[in-house]
Structure 1
Amino acid sequence: MHLETLRAFCLSLPAVTEDVKWEHDLCFSIGGKMFCVASLESPLSFSFKVNPEDFHELSVLPGLTPAPYLARYHWILASDGNTLSQAEVERRIKDSYEMIKSKLPKKALKDAGLL
């Protein structure tokens, strides 16, 4: 997967914003909360939130590790853009988006046009 493919998918989700943080990470957020972070440097690597049940299973697969600084919140780092199939990446990112969205307060959902 390429950064532009990942970016296009993330931005296709409702009410998503993007910005650059830490000088070299492209962050995708909903209601001000990140759900996916991608490195702007090659090769593509990206992080996303998973549910606790999947965290341990995914973190031992080749090319996937607990995300630095975010592992305690069940984030996974895909250190290679080709570790997962495009369909699997899209499913995992959509799940991450939904997990973050489900924890947003109603005011944030309303402000984002999701209520």
Structure 2
Amino acid sequence: MNIEELRTYCLSKKAVTEGFPFGPETLVFKIADKIFLLTGLDSHPLTFNVKCDPELAIDLREQYPNSVIPGYHMNKKHWNTVIINGELNVSQIKDFIDHSYNMVLDSLSKKAREQLSM
């Protein structure tokens, strides 16, 4: 997966917006103004941060120590940094993105979800 494929996948999800709130080198994807993924545009290999259930985050870090690490510049309990280095397949990467998106969506109030027409 490259940056364009990552961007296309994130934007295919309902009610997602993108922006650069931290400067021109960090692309951020949000749902209802809550971040579910961010990535550096200049990172080689491609890396991105996603929200993750704390217990699952630990399991993934143990299972994929070369590809999943505690979230860089994020709360290490709730965020993972995923490194696209060939160890993970596209389906696994999409699962990590989906999990993050769904965690943020589930954290929204009922009113916020209704405003998104979910």
The TM-score, its normalising length taken from structure 1, stands at 0.88
2:74 corresponds to which residue? 70
The one-character-per-residue Cα deviations of 1:20-73 (angstroms, maximum 9, x if unpaired) are 132111111101101111111131210101112211122241132101332344
Aligned to 2:35: 34
Cα displacement (A) at 1:111: 2.6
Aligned to 1:56: 58
RMSD over aligned Cα atoms: 1.6
SS in 1 for 2:93: helix
Change (3 A) 1:21 1:83: farther
Following TM superposition, the consecutive aligned residue runs of length 4 or more in structure 1 with deviations greater than 4 angstroms are: none
Contact 1:45 1:79 in 2 (8 A): yes
Tell me the matched-pair count.
114
Amino acid at match of 2:54: P
Q: Which residue of 1 is the match for residue 3 of structure 2? A: 3
Q: Which runs of 5+ in 2 are unaligned?
A: none
| Amino-acid identity (%) | 32
> Higher relative contact order by CA 8 Å / sep ≥ 6: 1 or 2?
1
C-alpha change, 1:17 and 1:8, in structure 2 (3 Å) is same
